[in-house]
Structure 1
Amino acid sequence: MNILENPRLSSLPSPCFVLEEELLQQNLAIFERLQQSAPIEVMLALKGFALFPCFPWLRSGLAGASASSLWEARLAAEEFGKEVHVYAPTYRPDDLPAIIPLASHITFNSLGQWHRYRESLKNTAVKAGLRINPEYSPVQTDLYNPCVSGSRLGVQAAMLAGNLPSGITGFLSHNLCESDHLALEKTLGQIEKLFGEYLPQIQWLNLGGGHLMTSQGYDVDYAIAVIGEFHQRHPHLRLIMEPGSAIAWQTGFLLSTVEDLIETPEFTHAMLDVSFTAHMPDCLEMPYRPEVRGARVPQTEDTVYRLGVPVASRGIFSVIMPLINLYRWAIA
């Protein structure tokens, strides 16, 4: 049955995000296999997926949750209930004292942040880390590339100058975005090349997010082998990764309604009750094209429906699709 023919949808508000539990469980199975086959633990990155009613399903198969703010740390501690790893580019002095009791790990973006706050972690059980810049990212768009020249994100190897600050127990490398198994392999190579002298001095290495293991083109077995080989070279390290969008990848849709049709010589405009800024911001910031279930990319001879939103910004995309009686759309 087409998802839009499901009678349950008629009882849902529009617009709303709809999660399909079966698809989420399929994604979780991939990460469970990864953890069973490779010496690595998987955390949930809340900045990618924070639908906390799903946490009971996620908790059994994941090691904990990673947060980027005080409120995310509270969500992780109060609703997820396992390890809480926190990283932020900067910490507010009035937030960090509230974060410390919630966190098992706190990672600092710079040596300056570490020196400013290291005394706050004394006599606590929190494990302190540094975000490192491996000086490699496959991301082509500078806005999303954390390793672009002059990046503010992470410590470059040259900044350490051969001296790992006392009290630092681990590294976080976050340089991927919807990336594949080959990018993981190259990242590990860069870490060994640039930060290899420090690896014997730390206890854990967090490979961050951006590992799109739930996409069709990702070779999970290859990743398992690469992680295993790296761990053989560094058997003392606890390896961690924290995917966000990969866990929820293609597990639901944004339900929308066509509120009006506007005819022009070039297009038929289907006016939706959603906002690109509120519901699909990446479609403005990145060259993402949302998909509509049951639709296809228009050809020259097709009658085209151009989907628009009721705001002044020019957020539009075109599809060919039979309209649903005024009118429901599932945007993935």
Structure 2
Amino acid sequence: MKTPAFIVDENLIRRNCEMLADVKARTGCKVLLALKGFALWPLFPVVREYLDGVCASSPWEARLGREEFGKEVHAFAAAYSEADFAELLTLCDEIDFNSFAQLQRFRPHMQDGIKFGLRINPECSTQDPAHAIYDPCAPGSRLGIRRKDFEGQVLSGITGLHFHTLCEQNSDDLATTLKAIEAQFGDILPHMEWVNFGGGHHVTRDDYDIELLVKLINDFKAKYDVQVILEPGEAVALNAGVLVASVLDIIDNDGAIAILDVSCTCHMPDVLEMPYRPEIDGAAL
């Protein structure tokens, strides 16, 4: 095989999607593919058999979802430019704002037929300290609107709330987050039509508590009469592929150093940002 190459197993993608589809069937929730986590569009015909659409963070991702996935397209970004928002209006079924300033700026351009929501910050951190760089509830976070910032604001045109506080986490952390959201936003939830639970749900991991997830979704729906949305990215492709590399040379400098035809910068950027260490098949040989 010519390397480097990413090899993805379609059967394993189906296995993951079937697990997500089972959650859909048992709860009536919508499940979207987070394109920032997995955007291998040749496999979209497989994934769209099971999921309801995609969530995008830019017009380019939204266009990819609209043209190649062909189902619902939801969008969220920390802020939109005039040009990006105008383009997203032509591509999206739902657009979520990160601040009341953005809502006020674009309210005159909001159109019928598109749902609009607000991303909230429940100020409830559940992430491992090693993931602090991705914690949207950390002090000084730019993501989401705090409860105190809702005071005096007008919610006309807003039909749902969106939170995303998890990162490769189990459903017990979602339970903790939902308690914080109910405590802070309980007066607003009855006026909403939908609530997006965001991504970071590691549903397809072996030790993930799916039964708790199902219960949390069903209980929340029954209490507030809302459509619940999940948007996993990594869970769709978790453990479904490999990066194949070749050893070009071995350098000795107080130990053997393999020189590969791949790099973290080009092929595994998360290794640079996060405390990830790739599992290397046969590395001990």
TM-score range, shorter chain: over 0.9
- Find the counterpart in structure 1 of residue 4 from structure 2: 15
Confirm or deny: 8 A CA contact 1:39 1:231 kept in the other structure.
no
Q: Where does the alignment leave 5 or more consecutive residues of structure 2 unmatched?
A: none
Deviations 1:1-21 (A, max 9, x none): xxxxxxxxx2xx311111011
Give % identity: 44
Deviations 1:141-199 (A, max 9, x none): 32111110121101001000164521111111011000101011112111111111001
2:125 aligns with one of 137, 142, 162: 137
- Find the counterpart in structure 1 of residue 260 from structure 2: 272
Aligned length: 283
- Find the counterpart in structure 2 of residue 228 from structure 1: 218
1:170 aligns with one of 160, 176, 200: 160
Q: Where does the alignment leave 5 or more consecutive residues of structure 1 unmatched?
A: 1-9, 296-319, 323-332
> Counterparts of 1:163 and 1:262 in 2: how far apart (Å)?
62
- Find the counterpart in structure 2 of residue 41 from structure 1: 30
SS in 2 for 1:174: coil
1:88 aligns with one of 53, 68, 77: 77
TM-score with structure 1 setting the length:
0.83
- Find the counterpart in structure 1 of residue 174 from structure 2: 184
> Counterparts of 1:48 and 1:164 in 2: how far apart (Å)?
33
Deviations 1:46-73 (A, max 9, x none): 0000000001111111111000000000
1:292 aligns with one of 274, 280, 284: 280
> Counterparts of 2:15 and 2:281 in 1: how far apart (Å)?
20
> Counterparts of 2:154 and 2:186 in 1: how far apart (Å)?
12
Matched letter for residue 17 of structure 1 = F
Confirm or deny: 8 A CA contact 1:178 1:211 kept in the other structure.
yes
- Find the counterpart in structure 1 of residue 193 from structure 2: 203
Q: Measure how far apart 1:294 and its partner are.
A: 3.4
2:212 equivalent to 1:219: no
Matched letter for residue 158 of structure 1 = K
SS in 2 for 1:269: strand
The within-5 A match list for 1:3-152 is 10=1, 13-122=2-111, 124-139=112-127, 140=129, 141-152=131-142
SS in 2 for 1:168: coil
TM-score with structure 2 setting the length:
0.96
> Counterparts of 1:182 and 1:202 in 2: how far apart (Å)?
24
> Counterparts of 1:99 and 1:29 in 2: how far apart (Å)?
30
Q: Give the number of the structure with larger relative contact order, counting CA–CA contacts within 8 Å between residues 6 or more apart.
A: 2
SS in 1 for 2:236: coil
2:237 equivalent to 1:248: yes
SS in 2 for 1:94: helix
Confirm or deny: 8 A CA contact 1:164 1:198 kept in the other structure.
no
SS in 2 for 1:191: helix
- Find the counterpart in structure 2 of residue 310 from structure 1: none
Structure possessing the higher radius of gyration over alpha carbons:
1
Matched letter for residue 28 of structure 2 = P
Moved over 3 A (4+): none
> Counterparts of 1:176 and 1:286 in 2: how far apart (Å)?
15
